[in-house]
Structure 1
């Protein structure tokens, strides 16, 4: 048991260091030395707990994807409350204001990491595919409550919202879009599909 606790603590320390390096320096700056230096530990610590750096990165990505469960739960709890546009705006800001955009860049940047992730993630890019599912589930629930038009094709709307939000947040060197910009994008995608609302 103590060994398991120690391993979890080391993993958490290294993953949090990877978050900081990735947000600050981007995918090209995320090296094993950068992570261990940021974590304040010897380089050998990472290699003692993971087969190689791509194994570390694969577990890091999957850990960050699983952290989206709390965001998905918050969106499920928002069903039937507030406005659909407002709820989606808040969910997209929470998603893309986190390390998510940098994770997408990391996965597309490293061929070896994509290959490693194929073992557990057979299609799409982690974070984006989960986010599409989260938004689609939310839209379907709102459609069932007649807060979205019956003809709303949630299977197409969800990837459109995620793709559009990703474009808004993609430039990590510039300022993040403000809530009004994200809200306007969501309102445009849902134009005519939800009752007149303010969010």
Structure 2
């Protein structure tokens, strides 16, 4: 008797299932049984590919953190186009409507996961740390183009934007609207912008 469906990309399908549960039900609902049920496979599948559930979660979090790399490339390519405020607001909205907000309580919720991540992650919380790097790289690219002031401290502005966006999006059933995100970005970086604001 079959115990589930055959998975072609086991890790990818299990990670996608974990992301859906995390976004829909929060970190306390994320169990190995919930993940395999969501993926439509037998529970043993997860344990054949990972040492234990915390090992699975660590790989899941790191996979999602590395996905920010693609967003970094896209945002940096946008430098010099549109407006600085608009580009940042769009990037932050995309980031925080994804799994980024949900990763923070997941990491703080599970001691075993934090211990696993400390083995490979240098510092900070994955996804948010990558997001700070993304924003800093973009701001540096815009500073090089003269669209923000030469004295703008991009390494200070980037964590301010990520932290403020996290507070704005965190723990809300309804995410903030575009105008609210634009207003927040303008408040944080407005003094550094050298272009007409949107």
Change in Cα spacing, 1:100 to 1:8, as seen in structure 2 (3 Å) is farther
Unaligned runs of 5+ in 2: 1-5
Structure 2 counterpart of 1:155? 155
CA shift for structure 1 position 197: 2.2
In the alignment, the residues of structure 2 paired with residue 198 and residue 154 of structure 1 have an alpha-carbon distance, to the nearest angstrom, of 18
CA RMSD of aligned residues (A): 1.3
Structure 1 counterpart of 2:34? 34
Structure 2 counterpart of 1:86? 86
Q: Identify which range, 6-15 or 108-117, moves more after superposition.
A: 6-15
Structure 1 counterpart of 2:51? 51
Change in Cα spacing, 1:7 to 1:119, as seen in structure 2 (3 Å) is farther
Q: Does residue 180 of structure 1 match 2:179?
A: yes
Structure 1 counterpart of 2:192? 193
**Superposed counterparts of 1:87-166, under 5 Å:** 87-166=87-166
CA shift for structure 1 position 8: 6.6
**Superposed counterparts of 1:57-72, under 5 Å:** 57-72=57-72
TM-score of the pair, normalised by structure 1: 0.93
The number of aligned residues is 193
Q: Identify which range, 6-15 or 34-43, moves more after superposition.
A: 6-15
CA shift for structure 1 position 198: 3.2
Matched-pair contact (CA < 8 Å) for 2:146–2:194: no
Determine helix, strand or coil for the equivalent of 1:190. helix
Q: Deviations over 1:149-171 (max 9, x none)?
A: 11111111000000000001101
CA shift for structure 1 position 82: 0.8
Q: Identify which range, 100-109 or 29-38, moves more after superposition.
A: 100-109
Determine helix, strand or coil for the equivalent of 1:20. helix
